[in-house]
Amino acid sequence: MSDTEIFEMEKPKPEKKVKKKRELTEEQKEALKERLKKGRETALKNRQKKALLKKIDKEDEQKAQDEKIAKHILNKKEEDAVGETVLRLRDELKELKAELKEMRKAKETEKVEEIKLEIEEKKEEIEEVKVIEKKVTIDPEPEIKEIPQPSAPIPVPVPKRKVFNTRLGKFVYR
């Protein structure tokens, strides 16, 4: 035999072993079908349960968002109501001042005194409303305590100089 004949010869291919198909009896087939049916029912129940949990979580999230929106809107309404009250009281104050001027011209002293009292009351109401409005719109700032100043000045440290020698000469950096 020559070298070429050895290389040209085909190698024997290994035979594939064919597995025998497992043969089931009718009883075994029925048992497997029952297990499959039971498994599918269980899986369906689990999927429905998870879907319900997701739905509940989503509803809770929506409720939280709705509450946040409602709270914001209510705060806006309170601020608007306070502003409307201030405007209404200012209008009444202007009317009373106009009446006061007319009364002074007519020199009706008794009515003048009554109107003055009403004007003062309205001013107090406006101030109260403004205080309430400030409380609603502005958060109080923390108190800032004044730091006592020392009697003698504090010395400031001077940074050290850095000197570099180069071919061009000495350079000083501060």
Residue 35 has pLDDT above 90, yes or no: yes
**Element at 162 (helix H, strand E):** strand 162-166
Least confident piece of the model among 6-10, 95-99, 108-112: 6-10
**104-114: b (≥16 Cβ within 10 Å) or e:** eeeeeeeebee
Q: What is the DSSP letter of 24?
A: -
Across the chain, what does the average pLDDT equal?
Answer: 79
**19-29: b (≥16 Cβ within 10 Å) or e:** eeeeeeeeeee
Residue 137 has pLDDT above 60, yes or no: no
Query: Which of the pair, 38 or 23, is modelled with greater confidence?
Result: 38
Give the span between the Cα atoms of 168 and 148, in whole angstroms: 51
- Indicate the pTM of the whole model: 0.33
Please state at what angle helix 109-137 crosses helix 26-106, rounded to 10 degrees. 150
- Name residue, tokens 């929506």: 62
CB atoms within 10 A of CB 122: 19
Instruction: List, for residues 6-25, the tens digit of each pLDDT value.
Output: 666 677 777 888 888 888 89
Residue 128 has pLDDT above 70, yes or no: yes
Answer positive or negative: Cα dihedral of 23, 25, 29, 34. negative
Q: Please give the radius of gyration of the chain, using alpha carbons only, rounded to the nearest integer.
A: 47
Tokens of 86: 């201030």
